[in-house]
Structure 1
């Protein structure tokens, strides 16, 4: 391409181009040899020094004479287990266990991995191991669907991970609850889980019983992104104004709040605390209100305001708690909380 451009240029322009290139190289060498940038004097290049080249390609506005019928948008490769089920004993056994193959098809690299497995050699013993932990047949299908990579884990390592939980005084019901709610838990090494549990115990001043309570209540929180949890903790303490002890109380009551988007929970907090004038002490008692989206609380609060039924003081009659405000569907809210009808509530929403 450069050779064609140079051929199309006149000799005078070519000579100036060479001089400019030589000068640019000298400047670059000088910049390379020094640690600090310097202001270098270089001659001003006039407009006459621009390269006037002949176009060697057709304009994009010209009508295309070539056949481009073969050109099509890029489509991602798809996969379907249906073509293999009749011939694969492994797939047939997985179907019997209740595994949802259509969901596995959507996961990158999983279909090819599943097809290379032999049920007797690679899957059967893992299924027995999970059954011994208390998983029912109906639960096994859901577990494998969510965590097909469990078959990559060595059975001895899985046994060590379960023994670790027992050593930390998690009973069988707790362990079953953990793997049911968070199937990928068993994919984490004992060292990883120990560090994560230690993080929560140290940063929130939890006792051993509180660590077990939190883990059993929201197992997915323990293996969640710790940076996300740190950021949400910062938002709750520094931007909302809750004390470390109140933050701990919020964590134990509504752990999923620490997995939510920090911008969303902050918007909800600002509306509840500043617009509705709900004190921090009340929010601590019902922190699940912060998991509700701001627009939903705003709509319901404004409807109650229109009906003159704003009453969030528990010491006065006709008290409406934050929990009842955000729970239930719109029909339940309109009739049971607002004492109106869903038709009136929908009409109000259209008017705002």
Structure 2
């Protein structure tokens, strides 16, 4: 009888242990994932093509010296502390401002010598003029022979010619001396300075590069299919990565008549005002050029709704919510995507206008999973 009791007790213990083990192995249920959904947006969009362009100066001059010699001085500007410093890249200079001076001692001596020759020629002319006037009076009173009168007249005419030649030489010497001053030919900004005080320069040396940037040009190329849609005077907006929160505008001022033989594109220039100098030469600009005046209707969804396709590494999909009784189920649906428009992207195939797309939490759910829609 005791043996039967012990046997029964052992069976009960085993059943209790098995029950305890089964209770411990039961996995907790995954909480329902909260998501946000949004209806597909249908919007009329202009067919635009995006181009990258380079910002160029309206005009740019490589300023070379006319003479050979050593630079003795440079234009001085004020630095942040108020001290004088040589003109440098980024400084704005007015037209005809002297940027650099080359040693002009020899030219100055030539100018002085030419001035002395003018003075001598003027004195000779004054004497010849007096002699000629006197000869005229004497010749009228028959007190001078014709050969003497002709000699006085010839001396006067020679003196006039000598003075004219001396003045021309003086003017040439003065102009030569001015060539030792290198002046800005336009009002603009210094792009580059290549010389310092003491530099030996010659007519082949580019001392400065100066550019007019009060207006700038945005240069880019388009294929023949786009060239026909562009017109001179047409307004065109553009942006830059350097100033991403600002939209600039300009006008198409040049469209090349022939395509480049190498690239097969037509060069286009947009001219824009740059009064605040925010646009710098060499910046990269981006333009959306309208392909045509017609618009197309596109189904748009946020970029955050797009996930990888289940069966294709290169494909894309979205989660569409469906109802299963009282439950809301996330259904993975393959889609074909189009062009990006800001934070949205066009969907060409795979969804219907009435579908609700998961736009927040799409990366946290799986196909067929129950979800909870939150506002």
TM-score by length of 1: 0.19
Between Structure 1 and Structure 2, which shows a larger proportion of helix residues?
Answer: 1
- Of structures 1 and 2, the one scoring higher in RCO (CA 8 A, sep 6+) is 2
